[in-house]
């Protein structure tokens, strides 16, 4: 049980958000349809957090450099290297301290953190590797478990495993997940996530990406040719006190 004297009277350090509304030791989701650029965005967040620069072109403010671990379940080492080079110019490369950015290219490998309803050895290895990190990114959710995506019990077990990862490492855990078809008409909703709502309910933070629609592009005078270069960002859920 919680020590009530500690809870009510002890000095508690100021909460430092990893991203606006996303706390260390908590679980967050980045939800988007395929081809929207969520992996690129997550990589930019990872790199920017590691060197202490504003992320996503200033969408998220700069913080002090922090360790980041990125498990890329679908990516090869070559692809991650190309993305890294595209996101870091010569000046930024000199700011990247040893050990601040840990990239795990897992294409073609087993990335299950939960198998047959139980945590795997990989979960323990990832938690150990993530000690001292501020942020752990896992991409995508579908590769982290072998359960039924629409089954509440299966997704709850995944949530518990990811919460364990966050608790053991002290980091915020950000999971990339696909949006459902209904999100096309309600892209800013918590319900944009594919599969059981148990995943969304378990996460403390959720950000949705969606492609710019024709009405919005017309409002801002953006041509049909350029419309594909833009995405909408909606924080559908965040820590609230």
- What digits encode the pLDDT tens for the residues 3-52? 999 999 999 888 889 999 999 999 999 999 988 999 999 999 999 999 99
pLDDT at 184: 66
Is the pTM higher than 0.75? Answer: yes
Calpha distance 181→205 (Å, rounded): 21
**Angle, in degrees to the nearest 10, between helices 38-51 and 77-87:** 60
Calpha distance 86→35 (Å, rounded): 18
pLDDT at 26: 96
> Which of 34, 62, 37 lies closest to 178, judged by CA?
34
Residue 241's pLDDT band (cuts 50, 70, 90):
low
């Amino acid at each position: 049980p919680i020590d009530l004297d500690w809870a009510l009277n002890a000095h508690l350090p100021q909460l430092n958000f990893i991203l606006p509304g996303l706390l260390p030791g908590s679980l967050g989701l980045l939800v988007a349809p395929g081809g929207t650029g969520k992996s690129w965005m997550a990589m930019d967040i990872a790199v920017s957090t590691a060197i202490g620069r504003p992320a996503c072109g200033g969408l998220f403010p700069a913080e002090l450099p922090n360790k980041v671990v990125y498990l890329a379940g679908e990516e090869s080492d070559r692809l991650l290297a190309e993305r890294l080079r595209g996101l870091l110019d010569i000046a930024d490369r000199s700011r990247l301290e040893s050990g601040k950015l840990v990239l795990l290219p897992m294409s073609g490998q087993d990335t299950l953190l939960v198998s047959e309803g139980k945590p795997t050895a990989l979960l323990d290895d990832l938690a150990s590797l993530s000690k001292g990190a501020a942020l752990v990114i896992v991409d995508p959710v579908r590769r982290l478990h072998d359960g039924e995506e629409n089954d509440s019990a299966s997704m709850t077990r995944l949530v518990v495993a990811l919460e364990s990862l966050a608790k053991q490492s002290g980091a915020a855990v950000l999971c990339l997940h696909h949006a459902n078809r209904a999100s096309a008409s309600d892209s800013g909703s918590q319900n944009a996530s594919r599969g059981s709502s148990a995943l969304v309910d378990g996460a403390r933070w959720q950000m949705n990406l969606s492609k710019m629609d024709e009405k919005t592009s017309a409002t801002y005078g953006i041509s049909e040719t350029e419309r594909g270069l833009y995405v909408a960002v909606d924080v559908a859920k965040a820590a609230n006190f």
